[in-house]
């Protein structure tokens, strides 16, 4: 199935249908923490997208998006990274497609550390080194690269909604950084 086919397939699911499904089933997502790495694989910088939220507030976000019908996890990951960081980001999709964590976003706050008022989303989260040029795409205002120490700053976390801050800290913990 070519990407064009997938888009077509996807279009069969109207916004109305998607709204209906969202209230009835968990929706599968992938999320990526884009990182710059040194030759020894250690992380030198973490990439965060800046977006204007619905409420006009500036927010930091990770790469995130739905897995489509008939799309593999690794293809969804590649597609969303290129959609958010550009076509020449050169992401190094992990050969083992097992997430470092599974973030369960519930419409009800407090069930887990993650919250999404629109839906019950289950996100497979990956740390993805990017070797190429990255540029914010679409509605993103900027892409900021922070050192792991800067990214661990509670002030950064406070700028991230719905649990993205928690996910970022979990990623830093998996990478072995002090948090």
Which residue is listed with tokens 């409420």? 55
**Which three-class secondary structure string do you get for 112-149?**
CCEECCCCCEEEEEEEEEECCCCCCCCCEEEEEEECHH
- Distance from the Cα of residue 72 to its chain's centroid: 16
Of the two residues 83 and 177, which places its CB atom closer to a second copy in the complex?
177
**In sequence order, what are the beta bridge partners of 61?**
49
Which residue is listed with tokens 């500036």? 58
Q: Is 176 in the site for a second copy (CB under 8 A)?
A: yes
Reduced to 3 states (helix: H, G, I; strand: E, B; else coil), residue 7 is: helix
Q: Which stretch binds a second copy (CB under 8 A): 52-60, 136-144, 170-178?
A: 170-178
Taking the complex as a whole, the smallest distance from the CB of residue 68 to a second copy amounts, in Å, to 8
Binding to a second copy (CB under 8 A): which residues in 81-110? Answer: 92-102, 104, 106-108
Q: Which stretch binds a second copy (CB under 8 A): 52-60, 75-83, 137-145?
A: 75-83
- Reference 123, options 114, 133, 136, 132; nearest CA is 114
Of the two residues 61 and 106, which places its CB atom closer to a second copy in the complex?
106
Q: Is 23 in the site for a second copy (CB under 8 A)?
A: yes
Out of 3, 5, 7, 13, point to the residue binding a second copy (CB under 8 A): 13
Please say whether the dihedral angle defined by the alpha carbons of residues 6, 94, 138 and 160, taken in this order, is positive or negative.
Answer: positive
Q: What is the rounded CA–CA span in Å between residue 145 and residue 147?
A: 7
Taking the complex as a whole, the smallest distance from the CB of residue 147 to a second copy amounts, in Å, to 14
Q: Which residues bind a second copy (CB under 8 A)?
A: 1, 9-10, 12-13, 17, 20-21, 23-28, 35, 37, 39-43, 67-75, 77-78, 92-102, 104, 106-108, 111-113, 120, 122, 124, 127, 129, 166, 169-170, 173-179
């Amino acid at each position: 199935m070519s990407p064009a086919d997938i888009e077509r397939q996807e279009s069969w699911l109207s916004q109305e249908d998607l709204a209906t499904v969202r209230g009835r089933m968990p929706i599968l997502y992938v999320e990526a923490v884009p990182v710059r790495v040194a030759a020894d694989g250690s992380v030198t910088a973490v990439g965060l997208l800046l977006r204007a939220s619905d409420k006009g507030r500036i927010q930091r976000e990770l790469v995130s998006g739905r897995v489509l019908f008939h799309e593999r996890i690794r293809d969804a990951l590649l597609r969303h990274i290129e959609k958010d960081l550009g076509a020449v980001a050169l992401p190094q999709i992990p050969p083992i497609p097992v997430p470092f964590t599974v973030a369960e976003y519930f419409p009800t706050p407090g069930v887990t550390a993650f919250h999404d008022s629109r839906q019950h989303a289950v996100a497979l989260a990956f740390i993805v080194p990017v070797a190429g040029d990255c540029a914010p795409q679409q509605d993103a205002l900027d892409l900021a690269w922070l050192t792991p120490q800067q990214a661990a700053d509670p002030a950064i976390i406070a700028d991230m909604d719905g649990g993205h801050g928690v996910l970022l800290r979990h990623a830093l913990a998996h990478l072995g950084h002090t948090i």
